Amino acid sequence: MADKLIIVESPAKANTIKKFLGGSTKVVASMGHIRDLPKSKLGVDVDHDFEPQYINIRGKGDLIKSLKKDAKQAKKVYLATDPDREGEAIAWHLANILTDEKEKITRVTFNEITKSAVQKAIKEPRKIDENLVDAQQARRVLDRIVGYKMSPVLWKKVKRGLSAGRVQSVAVKLIVDREEEIEKFIPVEYWNIYANLKDEKSKKQFEARFFGKAGKKQEIHSQEEVNQILAEIEKANYQVTDVKKGEKKRTPAPPFTTSTMQQEASRKLGFTLKKTMSIAQGLYEGVKIPEQGTVGLITYMRTDSTRISEEARAAAKEQILQTYGENYYENRYYKTSKEAQDAHEGIRPTYASIEPDQIKDSLTKDQYKLYKLIYNRFMASQMKPAIYDTMAVTIKANDYDFKANGQNLKFKGFMTLYVEGTDEKEEQEEGMLPELVVGQEVTLLKINPKQSFTEPPPRYTEASLVKALEEKDIGRPSTYSPTITTILERRYIEKIQKQLHPTELGRIVNKLLTENFGDVVNVEFTAKIENEFDEIADGKEEWKKMIREFYGPFEKEIEKVEKELEHVKLEDEVSDVQCEKCGRMMVYKYGRYGKFLACPGYPECKNAKPIIETIDVPCPKCGAQVQIRKTKRKRNYYICENNPQTCDYISWNKPKPGEKWNPEEAEEIKKETSKKETNKKQGSKKQASKKQETKAKTSKAKATTQKKPSKKVGK
């Protein structure tokens, strides 16, 4: 019989915690949520003050029995689920199924899985925070109502299986709106004039850019304006009229929050949000390290705070002084944004002494990359700024001004370890200018006018969408990844070379929802709701009151929309492909695997076929057209339209004109694509086998019934 029972969510977390506690303590896992709203119905009793109708999750019956048995045998039960609203709710559900042991149950939380943090938490147990539970319930119930009431509108008007959601629909709207901005964008012409100059004393060359006339900035928008300026400075002397020297400091970025970690992992490592969170979860819960056992390597990875504990600061200081010396250390504090819940620290390594390269062999390739990113970011946040010497120079050519800037890195500081990435185009580092003085003349080597055009706003990437969601206060750290994953899986958006594009389906769904549920599918409403969840978590608002205030107007909106759309039929988009069976122009439809062509004459004509994408580069082997296809893992490959009949060209890479083809990769692609066919065949065989089995059982049951003797009836 265990003195203490500790319940966590995952087996990995359980294994890490076990080694910190005595033999009389048992640690078990709930495997995430054990209760939830039913999938088959709304699961919220709107007639009885929105009472949620929770049920045990299917398949968890044996686990629940086991947890009850363990709780009965223990003297004390500690619910040690994750330290956030979701974790609090899981603890609350566990307490509700372990009601017989209510007096024994207590709640513990820790931000990092270290011996000191776990032992301290056990010594300082608390009650379940009902406010945090209510905030999670409010989110769950509101999102269920929105999803279950709005989605049927999409089923009736677009196709079954689609879903609408409070946050996901706003995320799709942002992507569609951005695409429309790009489509409507009209480029504006502008010019820059660059002067390549030479300092005769040092013989160094440098570049200055046209600024304007008589000290006023001037924009150039046409070739005519350029020609006029060039004519006026054709025989001019270039004289230095102003030199400003200075020093510039670049300070390090704060430790990671969930969103900044997701953004940097996307930019620097090419990780999807889902992958980043999965790897971070593993690093938090624990990794086996030789001679140390299972070690939790990072703090809790769902946070919007940049706050760091004093113990962590002290550990970082010791490590920096030991590795880089006193010149590199600076004790830094970072302001957390007003919107942040600040329940946890920023994301950091749990042990500053465990450097990434020391444990590289114990980590997977991806774990090592992410751990190194987190470790270096945190250590850099406690280091001195980088220092640059700077110089800004103004050079006159007649009445026109040219300006040149230069900088030289004098002290690397935190940049020894880490430099924050950006979604913008990286500007080239400016070199230092020669030692110029006011009054001296410099020699013109070449004048170089350059025409440019303004560019539309960039499409969102996963990283920049997370940044936008955070800035607009839509969702919270735990929701960014599942939101973007959902809209990708629903095929409302697609990822092309890391950029997020709306699909035709996404545009249709967005149009239908924004035109009919504009009060719900908008940024301001979603941000307001998030703030209300925060109020509930702080005990300042009652969660059912919030749902009541939302539901009345929303229900009327649903009824109004259903009436208005009753006789509205969304027309399918017509293609330029003629049905070879009946001659009608085929239309675009959406199925389980995306967009396809179908005859509008269904059910008389059932013709349907896939949409074949082609590229404008001919097959390097036979000159025919090259098609783009996808493997089971949705990876693009390129194949000749004559493959396999008369040409065997197939490649992972888009062919280039005149490029020679390497046939070795063909086998790899064939393996990945043939598995698809094999799985299909195996699936069909299994289905056929099941049908035969069911048929046999039915026949046997009939035969048994027929053989049973009839009962005699007495007189």
**Which are the catalytic amino acids?**
300
Pairing state between β 105-107 and 25-29: unpaired
| Cα dihedral 410, 415, 416, 418 in deg (nearest 10) | -170
Give the whole-angstrom CA distance, residue 395 versus residue 194. Answer: 12
Give the whole-angstrom CA distance, residue 167 versus residue 529. Answer: 10
Distances (CA, A) of 368 to 363, 372, 506, 679: 6, 6, 36, 34
CB atoms within 10 A of CB 11: 13
Handedness of CA 597, 598, 599, 605 (dihedral sign): positive
Handedness of CA 283, 63, 79, 336 (dihedral sign): positive
What are the structure tokens assigned to 196, written together? 């390549």
The DSSP-derived string for 527-570 is HHHHHHHHHHHTTSS-HHHHHHHHHHHHHHHHHHHHHHHTT--P
Angle (deg, nearest 10), helices 504-516 and 166-184: 110
Closest CA to 380 of 426, 335, 334, 345: 334
What are the structure tokens assigned to 205, written together? 């060359």
CB atoms within 10 A of CB 271: 24
Q: 220-244: b or e for each residue (b if 16 or more CB lie within 10 Å)?
A: beeeeebeebeeebeeeebebeebe
**H or E segment at 637?**
strand 636-640
HEC letters along 109-120:
CCCCCCHHHHHH
In DSSP terms, which residues pair with 36 in a beta bridge?
55
Any idea how long the chain is? 715
In DSSP terms, which residues pair with 446 in a beta bridge?
196
CB atoms within 10 A of CB 81: 26
Give the whole-angstrom CA distance, residue 638 versus residue 618. Answer: 11
CB atoms within 10 A of CB 27: 23
**H or E segment at 322?**
helix 310-323
- Asked if residues 77 and 7 have their Cβ atoms less than 8 Å apart, the reply is yes
Closest CA to 19 of 363, 288, 405, 367: 288
Question: Which residues, at least 6 apart from 692, have a Cβ–Cβ distance to it below 8 Å?
Answer: none
- Asked if residues 306 and 336 have their Cβ atoms less than 8 Å apart, the reply is yes
